[in-house]
Each structure stands twice: as structure tokens, then as C-alpha cells.
């Protein structure tokens, strides 16, 4: 089934304009959704908006939006007033600068879109993508749609371009707000941790290796209920977290990985070879052993 584009827009920088088509890069699976039912008869419940003053349901045509500027004090806005405040969509992503890809922290990443050339845009699209790859930079700009303005980052991927919607600075909390105390790490602990990282290292990330086990479990439980089977509830773990020795935990993790590698036929990490003893140090040791033999 062919993927359908959701919009057409123009990527522009300087006097260059590239017509492109926009495609959703992600397809979130929210799993099974549950409805609220009346416990007594099993009928589905309907949501109503009730006036806090009169205590009666309010139909949608009598609703108006308001902003609470003080406790229980509101200023009202009509639909026309709200419409006038919205950003006018320009159907264009205007590039303002080019920065190294590593300069944009992934914490700012929001929704992603794929870009493909539109009619007449194949050549400039290919040139733009190749230039970004060669420079190892991404394009930063603005995009207005559906009444809102977004920061966007256009970055090259193997087969094309991705337009990454970014969060604004005030939407990301600085990590400095966290209370992370400075802690000394011993050299031996660091070496063991690095060994564990090397043992579990991979050259690429394969998202297909991970499955949403919770969704699968819920779907299986729903199917069992539909078929009239009883569901066995899993026992909850008891007891709190155990305080363990860090070095012991790192060694145990390395040993566990070594056993797992042996079972799967993988070669465990090689131990460092013992250093040869210099001749001048070996000779006294031989004499000492000879005296003991006497």
C-alpha cells in the first residue's frame, strides 16, 4: 500500500526553493483503549460538562473558552478572536541557519516527518540532501501550520531527509534543576563498568529487537476474556530495593555475560595477557627457589 503525503510545502533558503511532500515518519500504537462502563448494568458511560454554579449539564453551543487570570476570574475569547491570534500557515519551511548535527540535543526532538521531492523538485532535493551529508550539518528553520509556529530541523538520512519538529527552550527543563551530588568514582569501578559496556556493545541500534510486551500481554488478556477464560493475576514483588556492593555487582554482571556468551557460542572477552618478567628480575627469583630446594 502506497504511503500518502499529508501536505506539500516548500523548503527555502536564500533564493533556493525546493518543493517537497510531507509524510508522517511515525505511527504510534497506543494499544487497546478501555471504555468506562456502569458497573451495575455494563452500559457505557457518557461524559458531560456540568456548570459548577448551577449544577446542570451545558450543551456545546453554550460553551465559550476563557483564561483564568486570577482565582475564579476569567477573560472570555470568542472563536473569531482566537482565530485572529493563530499563526497564518505559509506552506513553507524557511531555513535560517545551518548547524552541526551534534549541536542539537535530542532532548529537543519532537514529532518527525519524512520529506520527499515534489513535482519538479528532484534535482534540488538531491543536491540539498547531498550537501547536508557532506557538511555534516542540519538546517534549522521555522514552519507554520494549523495556527501554530514550530522550530524545525532538517537532517539528512541514508535515503532522504527528515524534518524534525523541535521543542522551544521553555518546553525543556534544564538538567541543572536536578539535585545530582558530585560523587567520586574509583578507577577499578570505572574499568569494570567499561568492560561491561564493551561486552554488551553493539555497532547499530535495531528497534525490531524490542517488543511492547505490556501491549501484547493486555491483548492476550482481552482475548482470553472474550473467549470466557479466567485470567491469572501475576504476583507483585515483595520487599524493597537491596543495597549491594557496586564492585561485586559489576563482577557478577561480567561473569553472567561470560556464561551467556559461552551458551550462545560467542567468544567471551579476552583477559589481558600476563606481562613477561624481565630477565634481571627472573634470575634472582630462580636463585631464591634453588636455595629453598636445598
161, burial (CB in 10 Å: exposed 0-12, middle 13-18, buried 19+): buried
Listing DSSP states for 161-179 in one string gives: EEEEEE--GGGS--GGGS-
Its pTM surpasses 0.85: no
Q: How many residues does the chain have?
A: 294
Measure the CA–CA gap between 142 and 149, rounded to whole angstroms: 7
- The predicted pLDDT at position 216 comes to 83
90, burial (CB in 10 Å: exposed 0-12, middle 13-18, buried 19+): middle
Domain annotation for the chain: domains and CATH numbers = 7-26+86-171 (2.40.290.10)
Helix (H) or strand (E) holding 225: helix 213-226
Contacting residues for 174 by C-beta, under 8 A, at least 6 apart = none
Q: How many CB atoms lie within 10 A of CB 125?
A: 20
Parallel, antiparallel, or unpaired: how do β-strands 109-117 and 137-145 relate? unpaired
Per-residue pLDDT of the chain (294 residues; tens, 9 = 90+): 567 898 899 999 888 899 999 999 988 776 788 888 888 888 999 888 999 888 999 999 999 999 999 998 999 998 888 888 876 667 889 999 999 999 999 999 999 999 999 998 999 999 999 999 999 999 999 998 878 899 999 999 988 999 999 999 999 999 999 999 999 999 999 999 998 888 888 888 888 888 888 888 888 888 888 888 766 655 555 555 555 677 787 788 777 766 565 555 555 545 444 444 444 444 544 444 545 544
Amino acid at each position: 500500500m502506497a504511503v500518502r503525503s499529508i501536505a506539500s510545502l516548500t523548503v527555502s533558503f536564500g533564493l533556493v526553493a525546493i518543493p517537497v511532500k510531507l509524510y508522517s515518519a511515525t505511527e504510534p500504537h497506543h494499544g487497546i483503549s478501555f471504555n468506562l462502563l456502569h458497573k451495575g448494568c455494563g452500559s457505557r458511560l457518557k461524559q458531560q460538562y456540568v456548570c459548577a454554579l448551577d449544577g446542570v449539564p451545558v450543551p456545546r453551543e453554550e460553551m465559550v473558552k476563557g483564561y483564568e487570570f486570577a482565582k475564579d476570574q476569567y477573560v472570555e475569547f470568542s472563536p473569531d478572536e482566537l482565530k485572529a491570534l493563530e499563526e497564518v500557515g505559509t506552506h513553507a519551511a524557511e531555513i535560517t541557519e545551518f548547524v552541526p548535527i551534534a549541536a542539537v540535543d535530542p532532548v529537543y526532538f519532537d514529532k518527525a516527518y519524512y520529506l520527499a521531492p515534489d513535482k519538479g523538485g528532484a534535482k534540488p532535493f538531491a543536491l540539498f540532501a547531498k550537501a547536508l551529508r557532506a557538511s555534516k550539518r542540519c538546517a534549522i528553520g521555522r514552519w507554520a501550520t494549523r495556527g501554530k509556529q514550530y522550530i524545525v530541523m532538517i537532517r539528512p538520512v541514508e535515503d532522504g531527509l527528515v524534518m524534525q519538529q523541535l521543542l522551544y527552550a521553555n518546553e525543556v527543563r534544564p538538567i541543572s534543576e536536578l539535585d545530582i551530588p558530585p560523587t567520586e568514582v574509583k578507577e577499578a569501578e570505572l574499568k569494570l563498568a567499561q568492560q561491561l559496556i564493551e561486552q554488551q556493545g553493539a555497532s547499530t541500534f535495531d528497534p525490531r529487537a524490542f517488543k511492547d510486551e505490556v501491549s501484547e500481554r493486555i491483548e492476550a488478556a482481552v482475548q482470553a476474556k472474550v473467549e470466557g477464560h479466567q485470567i491469572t493475576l501475576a504476583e507483585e514483588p515483595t520487599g524493597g530495593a537491596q543495597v549491594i556492593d557496586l564492585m561485586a555487582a559489576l563482577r557478577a554482571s561480567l561473569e553472567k555475560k561470560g556464561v551467556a556468551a559461552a551458551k550462545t557460542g560467542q567468544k567471551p572477552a579476552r583477559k589481558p595477557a600476563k606481562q613477561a618478567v624481565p630477565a634481571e628480575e627472573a634470575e634472582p627469583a630462580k636463585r631464591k627457589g634453588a636455595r629453598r630446594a636445598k
